Structure 1
Amino acid sequence: MSVVTRFAPSPTGYLHVGGARTALYSWLLAKRHGGQFVLRVEDTDVERSTEEAKQAILDGMQWLGLNWDTGPVYQTDRFDRYKTLIQQLLDNGQAYKCFMSAEELDAIREEQKAKGEKPRYPGTWRDRTDHPEGEPFVIRFKSPQEGSVVFDDHVRGRIEFKNSELDDLIIQRTDGTPTYNFCVVVDDWDMGITHVVRGEDHINNTPRQINILQALGAPVPEYAHVSMILGDDGKKLSKRHGAVSVTQYRDDGFLPQALLNYLVRLGWSHGDQEVFSVSEMIELFSVDAIGQSASAFNTEKLIWLNQHYIKSLPASEVAAHARMHFTDLGIDLHAGPALESVIAIQADRVKTLKELAEISTYFYQDFDSFDEKAAKKHLRPVARQPLETVKEKLMALENWTPEAIQGAINDTAEELEVGMGKVGMPLRVAVTGGGNSPSLDVTLNLLSRDKVGERIDKALTFIANRENS
């Protein structure tokens, strides 16, 4: 059997990390078995669905690299298909029109609650034919009343629901639009979905959907209901725990490789291995190895993974995702060294791509002022001679290489009989504007000789003004 999975988000908000993990598991299951992955946008809730949310889902999926084989399919484009099948169920006596008002149903449910009963629709219109002319109605599925629905869940094992516990589900609203549970069934059937991976909050929908599938004569897919993701305080993950949107993690400077690696481990494991490439995930992933327990989101662990990937991925891959963060700072990357070269010397020094951009601005644009604390400590009158001497030696170099640059710095310290720090720190502040940077030989090498000379002159002017004030 060819495996076909789907990710079916509702476009009523951003793509959150829980949805992204479900998408990842579905994608991996399909890829693991050489199958197909379908992206389906469940936008039947027309009032709450937005174009912005639809685009946010596509953006998040594309950023994560979870490419789909079919889609995106929008349910609102399939209303004719749903209506045809609803009419078929009506004609076959497997669905019926219900004229009970919402107020009537609410009153019945309140009465049931007061008696300690489970609130449910009592089947009032199930077999009635005295339909009032011109009155609004919903269409309900005539659920079996005998027997049970049993299915073997890949995560939770055998699950059974007695049909007597299930009431007759609304499959078409009074305005004629089909409901979520019916559209899902038809889509899974039409798209040949063999495996449904989704959140545990859908477990109660599953027996209803299986009954509808069987009424339509459609095959029943296999199910895997994954546990929710909790915050580190043990409560359901939400905005109070920090970023929960996939695109927010992108904007905060995380690599998609890090987020994917982190999400795959929130419920699935392979021994003690922590770091997985995408190809390893595909090779090793098994839906049957997903745990039943809820997983706690740990941002520190995600940051650790992000640092790992910034350091270990090819600089060109990191650069592809880092560019946007430089652009956000108004930096023209054509005005300095190749971004890959900057990444190569800065990767060990940052946790996020956003931080990488923030500490690398001096490679691409001049700074208006020196860091106050660093300048106070290192751009003092005593630094004037070391800066003048090292500038002279740097400007006289035949080859602008890290080795030659380091030689000029060493020669200056030796000539003036001072420690390396007396030369290196004033020079660092002069050319970068602050007291922190990679080693000076590689830092200066990525800046042009003329730019280094200009910035040393700026520092000497700063020192002169300080002497005269």
Structure 2
Amino acid sequence: YYCFCSTERLAALRERQKKAGHPPRYDGCCAGLDPVRSAERVAAGESAVLRLRMPAEGSLRFTDAVRGEQSFQAADLDDPIIQRADGSAAFLFANALDDALMGITHVLRGEDHLSNTPRQIVLLERLGQSVPVYGHLSLVVDDQGAPLSKRRGAPGVGTLRDEGVEPAAIANYLARLGNPVPADGLEPLDALAADFDVTRLSRRPVRFDRRQLDYWQSLALAAAPVARLRPALRVDCVPDDRVAAFIRLVQPNLRRADELNDWALRLFSRQPVLDRALEVRLRPSGAAFFETLAGLLESAATADWKPLRAELETATGRRGGALMKPLRQALTGLDHGPALGDIIHLMPADIRRLRLQQAAAIAAPGADTDA
């Protein structure tokens, strides 16, 4: 039926309902108008919207694929607009009819659309169309429990793509968001789809955790073929014959593919890698420690890490973190990274020597102590 209520009247109605503690709903003001007279008013140019007349009594029931049996009292559902005054179709009408005409059998959408479902079921039944199975997913919320939105700075898929997040990471994270996927590792799309079970989906809001997305990103990069990552390496300090070995070594430590460039500079360039804070932390090791390491690595009889490590421990009198941590820091300027033996094996000998000489100079007596 046509509704001629002005926006001012509807706004005033909502305000009265709000003050009275009632949910805002259309009061059916135009529901009893004579249809013939209404059509004449519209033909004469009067502005009107078209509303769907909902059942006045009883309840509307349907089985939600996620939430089970649902029941809405007809008295709580107002008559929704299905055509705006400018003649365009409203979402509730266009969305439902579009799905029906395309033969959509299942609709999974956010729980914020749950109240639309009984209205759309009535609409489709009135139009003689098949009603799909509806399932309503829990909303994804931020740390404050508010639904994710662009206004609150939530990242979209486009933003994540621009940040270098891998599609496989996004897919694997989303597949597990509010859904206990049995497989722990990175799964291809086909496997995720085959294992999907709507009955496992959470009925409570689920929190977006960027740390979890970063975890799947690290797995996706670690599993990526070298050829997939190679275009991200733009610095030219890595010898061609070591590029593949270099990428395989550092890719488990990547959060973005372009971090290859930072690792390349740390392992293959002659530029310093120590910041001022790290220089202060290296000084207590003493210059002799780094000089000894440089000499041993220069003359080591074997490239095998276990016997080489034993030589380093014997010569320096240090074991475990007391040996490995300052050595890693001197070579790479970082506290973390790939296995130290693999780093030493891959780094050019002149770069290793330069890094340890720089560390020895920093740790020498009388070196600048300003932090």
The answer to whether the superposition gives a TM-score over 0.5 is: yes
> CA offsets per residue over residues 71-101 of structure 1, 9 Å max, x none?
xxxxxxxxxxxxxxxxxxxxxxxxx443321
* Structure 1 counterpart of 2:28, from 105, 122, 131: 122
Amino acid at match of 2:267: F
Amino acid at match of 2:201: I
Name 1:107's counterpart in structure 2. 12
Change (3 A) 1:216 1:363: farther
Identity %, equivalent residues? 30
Amino acid at match of 1:180: F
Is the CA contact 1:97–1:137 (under 8 Å) kept in the aligned structure 2?
Answer: yes
Question: How many matched pairs?
Answer: 353
Instruction: Answer yes or no: is 1:382 the counterpart of 2:288.
Output: yes
Name 2:317's counterpart in structure 1. 419
Instruction: Answer yes or no: is 1:297 the counterpart of 2:197.
Output: no
Which range moved further: 362-371 or 198-207? 362-371
| Counterpart Cα distance in 1 of 2:249 and 2:256 | 13
* Structure 1 counterpart of 2:275, from 363, 371, 392: 371
Is the CA contact 1:380–1:463 (under 8 Å) kept in the aligned structure 2?
Answer: yes
Could you tell me how far 1:131 is from its partner in structure 2? Answer: 0.5
Instruction: Answer yes or no: is 1:445 the counterpart of 2:364.
Output: no
Amino acid at match of 1:236: A
Structural mapping, 1:128-167, within 5 Å: 128-129=37-38, 130-131=40-41, 133-145=44-56, 148-167=59-78
Tell me the secondary structure at the aligned position of residue 41 of structure 2.
Answer: coil
| Counterpart Cα distance in 2 of 1:113 and 1:375 | 64
Amino acid at match of 1:218: Q
Could you tell me how far 1:444 is from its partner in structure 2? Answer: 2.3
Amino acid at match of 2:134: Y
Measured on the aligned residues, the alpha-carbon RMSD in Å equals 4.5
Is the CA contact 2:100–2:130 (under 8 Å) kept in the aligned structure 1?
Answer: yes
Could you tell me how far 1:316 is from its partner in structure 2? Answer: 4.3
Is the CA contact 2:291–2:356 (under 8 Å) kept in the aligned structure 1?
Answer: no
Name 2:299's counterpart in structure 1. 393
| Counterpart Cα distance in 2 of 1:291 and 1:384 | 55
Tell me the secondary structure at the aligned position of residue 362 of structure 1.
Answer: helix
> CA offsets per residue over residues 187-226 of structure 1, 9 Å max, x none?
1022211001112211211122122222322111111112
Change (3 A) 1:201 1:339: farther
> CA offsets per residue over residues 223-257 of structure 1, 9 Å max, x none?
11123344566x33447998554455667776655
Tell me the secondary structure at the aligned position of residue 224 of structure 2.
Answer: helix
| Counterpart Cα distance in 2 of 1:434 and 1:465 | 23
Tell me the secondary structure at the aligned position of residue 131 of structure 1.
Answer: helix
Tell me the secondary structure at the aligned position of residue 335 of structure 1.
Answer: coil
Name 2:102's counterpart in structure 1. 191
Is the CA contact 2:52–2:80 (under 8 Å) kept in the aligned structure 1?
Answer: yes
Tell me the secondary structure at the aligned position of residue 186 of structure 1.
Answer: helix
Structural mapping, 1:167-178, within 5 Å: 167-178=78-89
- TM-score under structure 1 length normalisation: 0.59
| Counterpart Cα distance in 2 of 1:113 and 1:316 | 55
Change (3 A) 1:320 1:295: farther
Change (3 A) 1:138 1:126: farther
Change (3 A) 1:384 1:177: same
Is the CA contact 1:409–1:424 (under 8 Å) kept in the aligned structure 2?
Answer: no
| Counterpart Cα distance in 1 of 2:201 and 2:298 | 65
Structural mapping, 1:269-284, within 5 Å: 269=180, 277=187, 278-284=189-195
> CA offsets per residue over residues 292-327 of structure 1, 9 Å max, x none?
3x144273xx7468547746x683428688779xx6
- TM-score under structure 2 length normalisation: 0.72
| Counterpart Cα distance in 2 of 1:424 and 1:114 | 69
